[in-house]
Amino acid sequence: MTQKLLPLNAKSYVFACTNSSQDECFKRLLFGSSKVYGAAAMRVKKEDFLFLWNLDSDLLYGVFRAATNAQFSIVPEAWERKYPYQVKVEPIGKIIPLKDAKKLLNSMGVERSSPLSRSKTISILELYRPSSLPINQWFEQLAQTEAARYLDISSGPKSWQLLAHVKKPEVAIEEIPRLQSTTLWDFPRQSYGGSPKGNNKYAGVTPAELIWNLVWKYTEPGDLVVDPMCGSGTTLDVCKEEGRRAICYDIAPPPNRKDIVKNDARKIPLPDNHVDLVFIDSPYGDNIRYNEDPNCIGKISSETAEFYDELEKVIKESNRILKPGKVLGWLIGDQWVKKKFTPVGFLLYARLTKYFDTVDIICIARRGQSSNTSLWHNRARRFNFYLRGFKYLFIMRKPLPVEKKNEEPREITWAYYKRGKG
């Protein structure tokens, strides 16, 4: 089979451009993406197949090969810095544009936010085969590592005809989350993708997609993320996969996580103005048993001022280590225990605003709590109370330093008047 000429891990990606940006893509032999599709773009490896979709003309140009691994800002000035997630490309033979690209990609189930699997890659590569070239020679040409030395684009677009096997549904080879667009975030599962992020059995474990969204909204590859109360290490696992540096602490780290540093969040051993993002999923009170450390803030009742006083120490440290203008994300929930409601979120938010400016407040749907059972829902209806259905995600920004105006001393001219005789 000619398909065997391609490696088993062969995959491809679709980049996009417009009429105004296409010439720069071809001139520089560089493809780029905005933050919306940055997570997929940054997964491109050297030798992957690439296609360029012009959204204005609805043409899909191919075939290209990645000449480098994707990197952040290979050519910083390209496209006026709008598309910094970049990869250098090489043409494979004559570049051919396919008509009706949107219809083609929809029919194949192709999304720009995920890589194309080997089978989809093969299917789309078959559509670019020159009519004069036998299919076995076409795949031999594609399998060669040497690309064309210059860009030669066919003058006329080519029509395509889908093959029957293209339409079959297929599981994505790699699950890449989507950036959230509203202030209501709902994650049915704790983790995503093929590798676990944190331990979903851990008390109060954080949804991995929540951290993924903060990482991609407020940092760039290579930035430093700190989680002072990281629990089972969800933040660390997400950052490793997304190309961010991470330092994670916990007062009682799991014994199987040697990459989590034992430390109390009220005193973080990092210099001032050093970190690009801080994420905290703190205790909500003493109603959950987090660990056995006697100094754990989770052993203090959230009905007392002491609880918020101790969390304020963590707030101060987070503010100290963050660079000015950078972001803190803090996840917390309210408490209803023994017929008493405590607005933990509101009380914490009041402390946060003493040190940070508010970016936004997100509602995080609660799904994994132990009370999310038919038994507890029935009790809530019978005894007239509400189960906790959401948490707050406070997104706060460290203020930029206020510039002091250098006011020059004013020159004052005194006027002297003769005093008249009294």
Q: Per residue in 83-124, pLDDT tens?
A: 999 999 999 988 999 999 999 999 888 888 889 988 888 889
Q: Are 55 and 132 contained in the same domain?
A: yes
Tell me, what's the pLDDT at 417?
62
For 248-262, write each residue's pLDDT tens digit. 999 999 999 999 999
Residues whose CB is less than 8 angstroms from the CB of residue 392 and which lie 6 or more positions away in sequence, other chains included: 330, 331, 332, 333, 345, 349, 361, 362, 363, 364
* Whether 337 and 188 share a structural domain: yes
> Is residue 405 a part of any domain in this protein?
no
- Joined together, the tokens standing for residue 100 give 């009706």
Residues 6+ positions from 23 with CB-CB distance below 8 Å: none
**Within a domain: residue 355?**
yes
User: Exposed, middle or buried, 255 (CB in 10 Å: 0-12/13-18/19+)?
Assistant: exposed
> 419 lies in a domain?
no
Closest CA to 78 of 15, 14, 148, 147: 15
> Has residue 262 been placed in a domain?
yes
pLDDT band at 148 (very low <50, low <70, confident <90, very high): low
Please tell me whether residues 266 and 147 are part of one structural domain. Answer: no
Residues 202 and 343 occupy one common structural domain: yes
Check whether residue 261 and residue 346 sit in a common domain.
Answer: yes
Predicted TM-score (pTM) of this structure: 0.88
- What local confidence, expressed as pLDDT, does residue 8 receive? 66
Q: Which long-range contacts (CB under 8 A, 24 or more apart) does 381-388 make?
A: 385/336, 385/339, 386/336, 387/336, 388/333, 388/334, 388/335, 388/336
Whether pLDDT at 190 is above 50: yes
Find the domain containing 99 and state its range.
Answer: 2-167
Q: Based on the fold, state whether residues 211 and 329 are members of the same structural domain.
A: yes
The token pair at 62 is 């191919």
If asked whether residues 201 and 267 sit together in one domain, one would say yes
Residue 325: the pLDDT is 97
Q: Do 11 and 56 have their domain in common?
A: yes
Residue type, 206: T
pLDDT in tens, 257-289: 999 999 999 999 999 999 999 999 999 888 778
What CATH number should be reported for the domain holding residue 59? 3.10.590
Quick one: 157 and 282 in the same domain?
Answer: no
Residue 177 domain-assigned (yes or no): no
What does the mean pLDDT of the chain come to? Answer: 89
Q: Is residue 134 part of a domain?
A: yes
Answer whether residue 274 is part of any domain: yes
Angle between helices 118-127 and 135-143 (to 10 degrees): 120
Contacts of 107 (CB under 8 A, 6+ apart): 162, 166, 167
- Which domain CATH number covers 215? 3.40.50.150
Number of structural domains, the chain?
A: 2
Pair (238, 325) in one structural domain: yes
Q: Do 235 and 379 belong together in one domain?
A: yes
Q: Is residue 408 part of a domain?
A: no
- Indicate whether 213 and 65 sit together in one domain: no
pLDDT band at 420 (very low <50, low <70, confident <90, very high): low
